[in-house]
């Protein structure tokens, strides 16, 4: 009776169709419980870039729970998309770490799936930490004010073999926009200067985003560093040996004229080393200042007890070179200031002028020395602005 009923009802197929539609489709039976989960990087990956893309994605379900931990048991925070289909960590990964991902997914039938993955990040051969400094070695400070001739320096604490890779990590943002370029001095120092002096009021941000980057031969950046500062008023001083005067300009206006006595010239040979006593011509910048500073001739090879040696405490000393050239107070040379050069290379000033210049100056202010004898200022001495722009560009690795 039941068989006859089915046979009679199946003549047009409509009742058979209705009956088969009441069963779950075959495809539903074959789905992975909780959906299919994809890991990036693939499970088992080693030597992974700690800045590389890490994600968990589900198809045919949603992510109910994702936990990422490293081999030290630290939980790595992450975010999931609003549709709960993708999860990503929201912090950079570490070097030489093993990471485990544990995932719980759920499909639209309520079934759950458990999934896991493990991968490892790259192990550097060595790390280098960059520092953002001036050409005099002083740390560039956030929110500080610097002069229009400031040269920013990235100093690596290890030699960099892939200069191009390192330079691609470096950036300088200015407001307003200013043309400038990086130029390598050696494998640990790269300098940045604009083509012309910065306009007063320029906001500057310098960044070295080296973390996760192979800088050559397995040397990786240890951490990212950045600093933001502003350029102050245009302070440009000109020391002219023809007049023995230092003329000081503030935003183009002459604000002070100071008699000076500069390097007397000539040389002295001590223990096979030739020491000169010129104030070398060229464009310097203010590096730092101290009151007082101990000046010791032995620091550049001239023994204190030699014929021309000295060691004395000097007030209101503003340093402009890496080999010890200052504008500073020296009362004993006041009779010669403005007419005769008698110093070992510094620019002597009377107490009133030395104190005024000390208070007026900030790192990066420009001091140009003109018409002196001897060799011109070299870059290592703080002579970045004495390098012609076309030669400066040749120092770029890009």
Which residues are catalytically annotated? 328, 346
CB 155 within 8 A of CB 175: no
CA 306 to chain CA centroid, nearest Å? 43
In sequence order, which residues have a C-beta less than 8 Å from that of residue 12 and are 6 or more positions away?
none
CB 58 within 8 A of CB 85: yes
In sequence order, which residues have a C-beta less than 8 Å from that of residue 89 and are 6 or more positions away?
54, 68, 76, 77, 78
Helix (H) or strand (E) holding 351: helix 351-360
Give the number of other CB atoms < 10 A from CB of residue 19: 12
Alpha-carbon distance of 384 to 192, in angstroms, equals: 9
Return the ∠ at Cα 384 (arms to 380 and 387), rounded to 5°: 105
Partners of 238 in the β-ladder: 247, 368
Output the CA–CA distances (angstroms, integers) from residue 14 to 1, 17, 25, 165, in the order listed: 20, 5, 18, 71
Query: 364 by DSSP, 3-state: which?
Result: coil
Partners of 352 in the β-ladder: none
Alpha-carbon distance of 79 to 83, in angstroms, equals: 12
């Amino acid at each position: 009776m039941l068989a006859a009923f089915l046979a009679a009802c199946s003549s047009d197929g409509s009742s058979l169709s209705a009956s088969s539609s009441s069963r779950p489709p075959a495809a539903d039976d074959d789905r992975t419980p909780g959906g299919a989960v994809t890991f990036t990087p693939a499970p088992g990956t080693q030597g992974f870039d700690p800045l590389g893309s890490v994600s968990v994605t589900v198809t045919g379900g949603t992510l109910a729970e994702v936990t990422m931990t490293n081999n030290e048991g630290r939980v790595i925070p992450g975010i999931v998309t609003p549709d709960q289909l993708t999860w990503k960590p929201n912090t950079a990964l570490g070097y030489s770490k093993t990471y485990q991902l544990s995932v719980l997914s759920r499909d639209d039938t309520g079934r759950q799936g458990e999934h896991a993955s493990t991968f490892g990040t790259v192990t550097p051969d060595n790390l280098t930490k960059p520092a953002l400094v001036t050409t005099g070695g002083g740390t560039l400070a956030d929110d500080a004010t610097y002069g229009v001739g400031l040269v920013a320096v990235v100093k690596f604490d290890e030699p960099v073999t892939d200069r191009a890779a390192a330079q691609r990590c470096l950036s300088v943002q200015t407001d307003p926009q200013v043309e400038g370029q990086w130029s390598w001095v050696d494998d640990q120092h790269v300098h940045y200067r604009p083509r012309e002096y910065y306009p007063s009021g320029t906001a500057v941000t310098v960044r070295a985003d080296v973390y996760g980057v192979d800088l050559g031969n397995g040397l990786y950046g240890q951490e990212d560093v950045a600093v933001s500062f502003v350029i102050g008023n245009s302070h440009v001083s000109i020391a002219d040996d023809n007049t023995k005067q230092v003329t000081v300009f503030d935003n183009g206006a002459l604000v002070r004229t100071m008699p000076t006595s500069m390097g007397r010239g000539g040389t002295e040979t001590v223990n096979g080393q030739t020491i000169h006593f010129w104030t070398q011509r060229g464009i310097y910048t203010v590096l730092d200042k101290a009151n007082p500073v101990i000046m010791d001739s032995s620091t550049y090879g001239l023994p204190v007890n030699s014929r021309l040696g000295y060691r004395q405490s000097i007030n209101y000393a503003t340093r402009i070179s890496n080999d010890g050239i200052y504008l500073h107070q020296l009362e004993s040379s006041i009779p010669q200031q403005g007419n005769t050069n008698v110093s070992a290379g510094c620019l002597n000033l009377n107490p009133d002028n030395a104190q005024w210049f000390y208070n007026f100056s900030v790192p990066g202010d420009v001091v140009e020395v003109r018409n002196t004898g001897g060799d011109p200022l070299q870059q290592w001495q703080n002579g970045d602005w004495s390098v012609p722009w076309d030669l400066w560009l040749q120092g770029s690795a890009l």
